Amino acid sequence: QLTQYLQHTSSIMGRQTPEPLIRRLTSTVGDNEKYSQPHTGSKPVKKKDSRTVEALKQLFCGGMSGCAAKSLTAPLSRLTILYQVHPMVTTKENRPKFSMTIREGLAKIVERGGLLSLWKGNGTSCLHRFPFSAINFYCYEGMLDILNGPQRLSDEDEDNVNNTKEVSTLSRLVAGAVAGTTACVACYPLDLVRTRLTTQLEGKETYRGITDAFAKIVKNEGAIGLYSGLGPTLMVAVPNFSISWVVYGSLKEYALDDELFYNLRRVDTETGQVKLGYLLTLGCGAASGILSTLVTFPFDTVRRRMQIQGQHFLPDERLTAPQMIRSLLKKDGIKGFYRGLSPEVMKVVPMVRVCFFN
């Protein structure tokens, strides 16, 4: 009703744009008690949850939606990893690619291990999601508090076009980098186990499951083996999270300010705040995800290869990160760093769709 009223009023007033009307109405709803709680029997304004309660809700919902998103895109994730590491584990020198097309790759996985093999390693991925999300969220929020003060506006309050206390892009960049680094280091062993379970060939399994993988890695490689490839992983995680937070936040602010996207916004009926609509949220999330993937994918290929070295090579045959980069560049050229990029990009939109809207 509010949207219809704004459009109707805008058409009547000719040259006046809808933005001033939105600002007056949302300001009135938020600032004037007689409009937020009229004496006509309407519902009172709902009291906001405390910051701790809100954080716990977001962590739980984020973890569940993350598990759903990872499960939905698990076949593409496994195919990406197999593309990245196939030249290291294949016994056929004339077949450096796992498959020529994505369809052939998925069919090859099903043919070798059945339909459920498309989700191999997904259990570890979901198990990794909750602690990773929790650490990442708290570190990000904590860093924003340190950089901008604990009284800074929340992301929800920033959606209000009236606010003049938006968090700076630099703050988001630093907070995203610190949060990504901390979460990555804390949860890295689960990520490594997931990669090794995912790349196991049917009939030639080294590990029988998550527990067995942890036990054998520590026994054969020592505790340090659980952090094999951590350096390249940080080179992926830090720019990945920084780019994602910055791009998404910047695009959201632009979409809320520019009249070009007026019809794609929505108005919260309880608070009167103007927020991103469905398509804007999906577009901003997909754009940030795809951009961060394109920038960090070469390092992701290097880290995946380093993660499986202990599974397939003797200690004196394993390479350091610089050696791995030189070897990959010499054998496959620049394109070798981007093997598996297509399925990785394909999973961005469905992942964003599930994560943001579930």
Closest CA to 248 of 272, 276, 268, 273: 276
Q: How far apart are CA 336 and CA 314, in angstroms?
A: 23
In this prediction the pTM is 0.72
Residue 179 CB-half CA count within 13 A:
28
pLDDT of residue 358: 59
Cα angle, residue 47 at apex, residues 43 and 52 outer, rounded to 5°? 155
pLDDT of residue 284: 83
Number of Cβ within a 10 Å radius of residue 107: 12
Averaged pLDDT in 10-residue chunks for the chain of 358 residues? 46 41 38 44 55 72 81 92 83 66 90 90 87 82 79 53 61 81 91 90 83 93 91 84 80 81 76 77 86 91 91 85 91 89 91 73
Number of Cβ within a 10 Å radius of residue 66: 21
pLDDT of residue 96: 60
3-state SS track over the chain: CHHHHHHHHHHHCCCCCHHHHHHHHHHHHHHCHHHHCCCCCCCCCCCCCCHHHHHHHHHHHHHHHHHHHHHHHHHHHHHHHHHHHHHHHCCCCCCCCCCCCHHHHHHHHHHHHCHHHHHCCHHHHHHHHHHHHHHHHHHHHHHHHHHHCCCCCCHHHHCCCCCCCCCCHHHHHHHHHHHHHHHHHHHHHHHHHHHHHHCCCCCCCCCCCHHHHHHHHHHHHCHHHHHCCHHHHHHHHHHHHHHHHHHHHHHHHHHHHCHHHHHHEEECCCCCCEEECHHHHHHHHHHHHHHHHHHHHHHHHHHHHHHCHHHHCCHHHCCCHHHHHHHHHHHHCHHHHHCCHHHHHHCHHHHHHHHHHC
